[in-house]
A and B are shown apart, each in its own frame.
Chain A
Amino acid sequence: MEPLTSFNIFTNIVSQFWVVWLGIILVFLISIRTKRSTGLYGKLFDSPIGMTGFVLVLFWVLTALFADLIMTHNPLDQVSGMKNKVPGTPLRGATENDYQWYLLGGDHLARDVFSRVIAGSRIVLKIAPLATLFAFMVGITLGLPAGYFGKKIDTTLSFLANLILAFPVILLFYLLVTPEIIETGLPKYLAGVMFLIPILFMLLLWQSRFHIRPKVRNKFMLWTLLVGGWIYLGAAFNADPLVIIRNLFYGPEVEWSLFPKGLVYMQPNILIVFVSVVFVNSPTVFRIVRGMTMDIQTRDYVAAAQTRGETPWYIMLWEILPNARGPLIVDFCLRIGYTIILLGTLGFFGLGLESESPDWGTTINSGRKLLSIYTHPALPPALSLMSLVLGLNLLADGLREQSLKD
């Protein structure tokens, strides 16, 4: 087998992504057809900056979704003789079924750089949006009452938020994301408190809206408690009800092929990464929500709701929050980008994630040691991270521009 030329590497990579190109074309065709009826999302296609951002984000989302189709090799497999090989090197000892080349070369442990970048996108896009969503739930649930009631609640919560904000992020990571801290069980308790807040948020949402229709409320609340509680137990305490019930009936020795660790399971080291990222992000969200609540509560429609005798939580969740959605959506996009940078930082310092994990930060970290000799292992993850964050920032900019137009 001959090594590939630069042009062939390029065409092979492009063809490897065929699923993604197809997906982008489909999404664009449908979106542009229906853009008059999809509100803010449709207006995005009037702004070139917003559209560029959307393409970049969509590219990585689809890549993460179809990673199994795009990857050419197993991201953890080490093939002897492929150590630090340049892009386009034919795979040594390849069989018929194998992909014949390492498209972007091999890293210092002879793994395929291309497949690792693709696998990394999956990890990054699994953690970052979810962690940002949690940070928003926490920030909103605490920011609304702080801005609405003011006084003691505001003073206390703002002091706590400022306390966390005054902590240098990197120091917090080094103190919180260590094996010793995991040993003490601290992340579990932090998660135990933090993950409770979204459930509380949902319950308040139903209670404030449907308290005069107890039947509807009870139905919503029951489902929230069932689904939320299941996820809560599985994610925070590693106590998935399915596993508990199985253990009760069959004992812990029986090996299960279907969901061996339950439906919801989070590795302890991922949990601490997740918790610390939420921890860093939520005070900023809190401050934004608090500021907007203070602003919006002087509006007439809030006064009208107060005169109608609505409860404070109804006003906060069903009057103020929907009217604050514009800036919150923009900030959500920006914050996912920031969270991705934070995850990269954690990976760069080898905190939390395993050393063989293909996420971009860890890959950059392992590639930088030989960077002046072999540039190919560290460059692709660095460019991937940059393009995804850039996409999110451009998307946020486009959304802001379009939402200001009306």
Chain B
Amino acid sequence: MLQFILKRICVMLITAACLTFIVFFLTNLFPNLEKLAKNQGNIRMTDDAVISWLDKRGYSQNIFKKYGEWLGVLPSLKVVDDKGQAYSRCSRPSIPASEASDFCGLLQGNMGFSSVFKDEVSAIISKRLSLTAYLMMAVLSVMIPMALAVGVISGMREGSRTDRTLSTFSIATTATPEYVSGVIFIVIFASSKTGLSPFFAEWGWIDGRTIVKGSAASAMDNITFRNFALPVMALALYGMGYIARMTRASMAEVMTAQYIRTARLKGVKFSTIVFKHALRNALIAPFTVIMLQIPWLLTGVVIVETMFNYKGFGWSLVQAADNNDIQLLLGISVIAVFVVLVTQLISDIGYAFLNPRIRVS
């Protein structure tokens, strides 16, 4: 088991190195750097001025050298120009280049300085990530019980009318991406002119003009049902269909197993069979699916945060990419890749651990 985990971690580290290099390469292409120079320096810079701006800050070096500096395994280049002004990628508004340390990379815990937000990337990311963590927790706590319940109920009597209805429902949820369900939910619940809100307001059932809010901006300070319900529902709905279908398939398979038949013939109550005998074995497969669903939620988070104006991790990804904030985008990519790889690792190890039929050696 230990050998298996170590091997998986090695592969994961190699993958992480490759992926971060690809991201680094794509964000450091010349047109991006040119745009950065013009944004930071002067929008009407000549081509020569752009080159010299990039030279001074070490952007014109070999891509592998730059990647090494960013990782923190190579010392950062320090340039002193003819006017005696020193430049280093480790300098900050508060730390002049002459006093900056030689190594400032990912391994030193330094993710760089955001050119748009004018702050340390690590500080921005930790703030945004904690906001997104609330969203994810809410989504998972709605999505997983719902998905498992739907899956188990439809899988325990395969082919019944309940099964058909619930299966069609889960197919429908997988056809409704967040930007579609978001629009539909806002129209039904958060518009003062259409949907249910005008009736509810007329009957005096709700205080405001709409049932829930169409924006989650106020949830950043104080989470309430009114401002958080729609983003959570939009995310949970799209994710749950797939988990429900996997649970259903797994449950249906278990229900045809010999030991379940034996239990039924012995005259054990149906509910006891489902809860005591079937459920434990049926939940192994959904575990993997749930873990693998987390990176998938990442795209959804970006959509939902943009749509409902919740300024979390996904929102900062969009801001970083739209404003060509190279350091922030790199930092965000590292976190995103890390989340994906760790969840993959956990799902692999967990599957091997939970399922006695899998032997890892």
Contact = CB atoms under 8 A, between A and B. Distances in A.
Interface of A: 49, 159, 162-163, 166-171, 174-176, 178-181, 183-184, 186, 337, 341, 344-345, 348-349, 361, 364-365, 367-368, 371-373, 375, 378-379, 382-383, 385-386, 389-390, 392-394, 397
B183 A181 contact: no
17 contacts: A166-B337, A168-B336, A170-B303, A175-B27, A175-B321, A184-B30, A344-B179, A345-B177, A348-B179, A371-B183, A375-B186, A375-B187, A375-B193, A382-B179, A386-B180, A389-B176, A390-B175
A390 B295 contact: no
Nearest to B292: A165
A171 B119 CA distance: 22
Contacts of B220: none
Interface string B252-273: 0000000000000000000000
B184 A379 contact: yes
Interface stretch (B15-23, B65-73, B90-98, B282-290): B15-23
B26 interface: yes
Interface in B290-346: 295, 298-299, 302-303, 306-307, 314, 317-318, 321, 329, 332-333, 336-337, 340-341, 344
B224 interface: no
A318 B307 CA distance: 48
A83 B149 CA distance: 46
A349 B332 CA distance: 18
A167 B180 contact: no
A345 B344 contact: no
B186 A371 contact: yes
A340 to B, nearest CB: 9
Contact of B177 (A341, A349, A371, A392): A341
Nearest to B177: A341
- Most chain-B CB neighbours within 10 Å: which of A163, A184, A372, A393? A372
B156 interface: no
B192 interface: yes
B194 A375 contact: yes
A183 B31 contact: yes
Contact of B29 (A181, A373, A375, A379): A181
Nearest to B337: A166
A372 B213 CA distance: 9
Which of A181, A371, A383 has the most chain B CB atoms closer than 10 A to its own CB? Answer: A371
Nearest to A371: B186
A168 B299 contact: yes
B299 A345 contact: yes
Given A174-B321, A375-B194, A180 B179 contact: no
Given A170-B302, A372-B192, A379-B184, A364 B179 contact: yes
Contacts of B341: 166
Interface residues of B, number: 55
A385 B172 CA distance: 12
B3 to A, nearest CB: 18
Interface in B131-186: 167-168, 171-172, 174-177, 179-180, 182-184, 186
A385 B11 CA distance: 39
A184 B18 CA distance: 21
A392 B175 CA distance: 9
Given A163-B18, A170-B317, A348 B171 contact: no
A49 to B, nearest CB: 7
B191 interface: yes
Given A166-B341, A175-B27, A368-B183, A394 B171 contact: yes
A361 B18 contact: no
A382 B337 CA distance: 30
A366 to B, nearest CB: 12
A175 B27 CA distance: 7
A166 B26 contact: no
Contact of A162 (B15, B186, B190, B193): B15
Contacts of A163: 15, 18-19
Nearest to A338: B174
B340 A168 contact: yes
Interface in B188-209: 190-195
B207 to A, nearest CB: 17
B101 interface: no
A180 B190 contact: no
Contacts of B194: 375
Nearest to A391: B175
B127 interface: no
B191 A371 contact: yes
B29 A364 contact: no
B93 to A, nearest CB: 27
B183 A390 contact: no
A180 B336 contact: no
A368 B181 CA distance: 12
A166 B184 contact: no
